[in-house]
Amino acid sequence: MFPVGLYLLALVGGAAISAASMPLWRRWCEHVGLLDAPGPRKIHTHPVPLAGGLAVVTGLAVPILGAAAWAWLGPLPESFAHVVAHGLAKRGWQLAAILCGAAAMLALGIVDDRRDLSAKWKFAGQVLIALAVAASGIRVTMFVESPAFSYAVTVLWILTVTNAVNFQDNMNGLCAGLGLIGGWCFAWHAGLEGQYLVASLAFLFTGALAGFLPFNFPRGGVFLGDGGSHVVGFLLAVLAILPDFYSAASPHKWLVAAPLLVLAVPLADLVSVILIRRRLGQAVWVGDNNHFSHRLVRAGLAKPRAVLLLLLIAAALGALTFLK
């Protein structure tokens, strides 16, 4: 059984709730002063609400909590009963850890947006969240039967992807677009392996980003902010761990590298800017204009075209992971 209806409901529901909540979160951000002010490295000329992350998490959390309440309080339609009830029973704690981790990453990023946290405190918060997720059972194994190794690699992976994607929040539509492409790829990988709950979560995440993107690209009426980019990176890192890329049904060991291809653009950009900053003697955590998107603009592309080119590359690399 391939629950197309469930996937479509997750995709459309996430988009609808994210988009519907956006005006409310935008007004709230304006009320409390959660705004991105213009600055030397900024492309906007007036304060912009940092409501994107709040809307994306709303689009993710409301359907999950609603489905959990529905499964707990009343009978599900027969077509969804096995998928939802079995999935929640098997991975309910992990789903709770993912949702709590996303909320914690959002909170960490919002605090950074408001108070400009030092790198060590932000890093410490990321490590604690990653450890909590690993403790829930969501871990990378890499065919090595060692809990210590699994914890270490999982935390390193979550930190790397979270910060790589956070670095992509430098041009309208880029971070959210990469998140949408990555979520879509992981959703299909999970669905093809029969991991229906994982696929539904990934489609829900994809939908939530789709609901946000029209508010952000190309004009930038709303930004993700550090809170939103932290959420996108964290969820991509987790969704890369959850699908069984190597199994009896899919015995191609090279597929364990599929997440590296899906996330190749942000990961390559992370490595590139770190090398440039080290060569220039700059701190690796201090922002600059040496990301792929900035270099494409300096090469003559308009900002929207630079973003679309990077998204096209990401989509093409993600498509390669479906070749057998």
Is the predicted pLDDT of residue 82 greater than 60, yes or no? no
Domain count within the chain: 1
Least confident segment among 199-213, 235-249, 274-288: 235-249
Tell me the C-alpha distance between 92 and 115, whole Å: 34
Nearest to 139 by CA among 242, 25, 27: 242
Answer yes or no: is 275 within a domain. Answer: no
pLDDT at 136 over 80: yes
Of 25, 18, 5, which is closest to residue 61 (Cα–Cα)?
Answer: 18
Which residue range is the domain that position 191 belongs to? 4-250
Residue-wise pLDDT tens digits, 23-39? 999 999 999 999 988 76
**Residue 132 resides in a domain:** yes
Q: Average per-residue pLDDT in the chain?
A: 88
DSSP string, 139-193: ---TT---HHHHHHHHHHHHHHHHHHHHHTTTSTTHHHHHHHHHHHHHHHHHHHT
Phi-psi region of 300 (alpha: psi -120 to 50; beta: other; left: phi over 0): left
pLDDT per position as a tens digit, 146-199: 889 999 999 999 999 999 999 999 999 999 999 999 999 999 999 988 888 899
- Of 264, 267, 252, 240, nearest to 323 (Cα)? 252
Whether the pLDDT of residue 247 is over 50: the answer is no
Residue 129 lies inside a defined structural domain of this protein: yes
- pLDDT confidence of residue 75: 62
Does the structure show a pLDDT above 80 at 74?
no
Categorize the per-residue pLDDT at 141 as very low, low, confident or very high, splitting at 50, 70 and 90.
Answer: confident
Residue 158 maps to a domain: yes
Residue-level pLDDT at 80: 56
pTM: 0.91
In a domain, 276, yes or no: no
Asked whether residue 34 is domain-assigned, the answer is yes
* Per-residue confidence (pLDDT) for residue 283, from 0 to 100: 84
In a domain, 242, yes or no: yes
- Say yes or no to pLDDT of 255 above 80: no
Is the residue at 120 inside a domain?
yes
pLDDT at 176: 97
